[in-house]
Amino acid sequence: MARLPYVPDPANGHGASTGTPPGAGSSLASDAAAVYAEIRALGRPVLNLYRVLANQPPALRAFLGMSRYVRDDSALPAALRELTILATAYALGVQYEQVHHLAAARRAGVPEAKLAAFPAWQGSSAFDAVERAALTYAHEVATNGRVGDDTFRALEAHLSRGQIVDLALTVGWYHLCAALLLPLDVDLD
């Protein structure tokens, strides 16, 4: 059970709150409802992560801004982005991200053979050189906080500078998500 209440979504009756947060009231509910409407307008579901963050609607709105960039505007191809997110999620042990991004990877066209290689993707021959470089980057950041020179050179051989920045932002973003999901004990949707 989450450590903070899930702010209900009045549009679909999703998830009764476990209590009204101290100092909150109808203002919180109406502010959250406005952000939820923005999420639905993007064609996305109102996830438990969003419902926990809705205890502070301005923070949720800011969170969504970066999420939109990483997921919709990044220069990384969608399949590569999702593989990188999965490498991060598995290295950090975040089931919420694993489940959501296995589904997102399928929508992005990632073949089942590649998805089946997780969490031990390093031993799989299913990945091409650019995928392997990006996955290695994500794994090294998650396990060491840094990347080796060989890993960075492999990225430079396959990705533009802008794509490398987007890869770094993607990996960093899902570290932030892990730092929210795990300590707040957000339940899987």
Mean per-residue pLDDT of the chain: 93
Q: Which of the listed residues 12, 39, 73 is the one where a domain comes to its end?
A: 73
Q: What is the structure's pLDDT at 26?
A: 67
Q: Is the pLDDT of residue 89 over 60?
A: yes
Full 3-state SS string of the chain: CCCCCCCCECCCCECCCCCCCCCCCHHHHHHHHHHHHHHHHCCCCCCHHHHHHCCCHHHHHHHHHHHHHHHHHCCCCHHHHHHHHHHHHHHHCCHHHHHHHHHHHHHCCCCHHHHHCCCCHHHCCCCCHHHHHHHHHHHHHHHHCCCCHHHHHHHHHHCCHHHHHHHHHHHHHHHHHHHHHCCCCCCCC
Do 58 and 3 fall within a single domain?
A: yes
Decide which of 108 and 43 is more confident. 108
User: What's the CATH code of the domain at 159?
Assistant: 1.20.1290.10
189 occurs within a structural domain:
no
Domain residue limits at 136:
78-181
Q: What is the structure's pLDDT at 22?
A: 46
Q: Which of the listed residues 22, 42, 73 is the one where a domain comes to its end?
A: 73
Structural domains of the chain, count: 2
Question: pLDDT confidence of 21, banded at 50, 70, 90?
Answer: very low
Q: Is the pLDDT of residue 44 over 70?
A: yes
Question: Does the pTM exceed 0.75?
Answer: yes
Do 82 and 173 fall within a single domain?
A: yes
Residues 6, 76: Cα–Cα separation, whole Å: 32
Q: What is the structure's pLDDT at 10?
A: 86
Do 67 and 88 fall within a single domain?
A: no
Task: Read off the pLDDT of residues 151-182 as tens digits, 9 standing for 90 and up.
Answer: 999 999 999 999 999 999 999 999 999 999 99
Q: What is the structure's pLDDT at 29?
A: 83
Do 144 and 58 fall within a single domain?
A: no
Q: Which of the listed residues 42, 73, 104 is the one where a domain comes to its end?
A: 73
